[in-house]
Amino acid sequence: MQTSYPRRDIKVLLLEGVSASAVENFHHAGYSQVELHAKSLPEAELKARIADAHIVGIRSRTQLNEDVLAQAKRLIAVGCFCIGTNQVDLNAARKLGVPVFNAPYSNTRSVAELVIAEAIMLLRGIPQKNALCHRGGWTKSASGSYETRDKVLGIVGYGHIGTQVGVLAESLGMRVIFHDIETKLSLGNARAVSSLNELLERADVVTLHVPETPATQMMIKREQLARMRTGAMLINASRGSVVDIGALAAALRDGHLAGAAVDVFPVEPKGNDDAFVSPLIGMDNVILTPHIGGSTLEAQDNIGIEVASKLIRYSDNGSTLSAVNFPEVTLPEHPNSRRLLHIHRNVPGTLSRINDLFSAGNINVDAQFLQTDSEVGYVVIDVSADTQQANGLKEQLAAIPGTLRSRVLY
């Protein structure tokens, strides 16, 4: 059946080495035009390539800001093949009628396991012992080496990852405290503390699991580091913007902190061939990892399947279920109808204009699903019409003032 975008004409642009499982999923669903890049692209190239892409898939590195999105005239949807969506201007995407999807749980366990491993390594002083052995040195000593048992782990951001870290830490005998801006159900024996400061003052190891938001920008800077216990350790596998990295380097240098593990940085290389620069380089008591908290084969495989499935479902049947920036509509199939979708600015009178088209054309509406937020309205209409009528209706829908996107799905 001829739709306004047959699958073979839909161009899928996948960046940053998105898993092969995503590519397979697209191919399996009939999307043959899949372009895969191992890295994120420089902005000028990104703008050029995104111009004719219908679906774009990224990980944490690619910045889809308003300017870049403005070039993407054909864009239907964005997939973040990760948890964080701070790299996309979600509001700009929404106003352009572009839903954004992510994989909110697929790499949770991978991050939690890495954080626990790092807590053990830091408490034992392994990074510096390992570095010394590599240089031909030898310090067989228990000094500065501790068991995890009975140590206090402070979790900042008690969400999906934070809670998993807490559960695993308790199984090692750690005492878990947490701070979150929301009231959270404590798992196991974990206890909420009254403030970030209290957590910093009590914890032997502090681990950060907040998203990047205006409130978490530089949440941990000189003042907060100074509140941490002398000899405490900091783990950051959240976002590089959460910690003042210069202040962290200073706190490690002057011995206030005994160690740190950092997976995310204010500026990260675009790809594996680019140089990594950080004030933490050369510090033996710091574990540096290249933003691989979620990089396990299991997680990447699952993320590839999950996000590609969401993008395909939206492209095929219009479901925006679990979109992070868009009115959520989930739709039963009506195989004997033609399905049209219309995304518009949410101004009074749009729905009646849409419905007037069907009455004027004497077209029977079999089902209609509308969901709006303050700025955007999303309506899916199943109609009894032939292909020619459906394509004609699509053109008429596109001409309604305030239209952002319109399509015939089937």
Ligand X SMILES: O=C(O)CCC(=O)C(=O)O
Ligand Y SMILES: NC(=O)C1=CN([C@@H]2O[C@H](COP(=O)(O)OP(=O)(O)OC[C@H]3O[C@@H](n4cnc5c(N)ncnc54)[C@H](O)[C@@H]3O)[C@@H](O)[C@H]2O)C=CC1
Catalytic residues: 239, 268, 291
* Long-range contacts formed by 164-167: CB under 8 A, 24+ apart: 164/108, 164/109, 164/111, 164/112, 165/111, 165/112, 165/115, 165/116, 165/207, 165/209, 166/190
> Which CB, 157 or 327, lies closer to ligand Y?
157
Angle between helices 160-171 and 108-124 (to 10 degrees): 50
Angle between helices 350-360 and 387-398 (to 10 degrees): 150
The partner in contact with residue 99, picked from ligand X, ligand Y, none with C-beta cut-offs of 5 to 8 angstroms by kind, is none
> Which CB, 142 or 215, lies closer to ligand X?
215
- Coil, helix or strand for 207? strand
The partner in contact with residue 182, picked from ligand X, ligand Y, none with C-beta cut-offs of 5 to 8 angstroms by kind, is ligand Y
Interatomic CA distance for residues 326 and 91, integer angstroms: 9
> Which CB, 118 or 263, lies closer to ligand Y?
263
The partner in contact with residue 59, picked from ligand Y, ligand X, none with C-beta cut-offs of 5 to 8 angstroms by kind, is ligand X
> Which CB, 60 or 302, lies closer to ligand X?
60
Up-side HSE of residue 404: CA atoms within 13 Å toward CB? Answer: 23
- Coil, helix or strand for 106? coil
> Which CB, 12 or 115, lies closer to ligand Y?
115
The partner in contact with residue 263, picked from ligand X, ligand Y, none with C-beta cut-offs of 5 to 8 angstroms by kind, is ligand Y
CB of 60 to ligand X, least distance (A): 4
CB of 335 to ligand Y, least distance (A): 37
CB of 40 to ligand X, least distance (A): 10
Residues that bind ligand Y in the complex, under the rule CB under 6 A: 83-84, 107-108, 111, 156-162, 179-182, 209-213, 215-216, 237-239, 263-264, 291, 293-294
Residues that bind ligand X in the complex, under the rule CB under 6 A: 59-60, 82-84, 107, 294-295
Evaluate whether 344 touches 404 at the Cβ level (below 8 Å): yes
CB of 236 to ligand Y, least distance (A): 9
Tokens of 240: 């590089």
The partner in contact with residue 237, picked from ligand X, ligand Y, none with C-beta cut-offs of 5 to 8 angstroms by kind, is ligand Y
Kind and range of the H or E element at 404?
strand 403-408
Instruction: Determine how β-strand 175-179 pairs with β-strand 191-192.
Output: parallel
CB of 281 to ligand X, least distance (A): 21
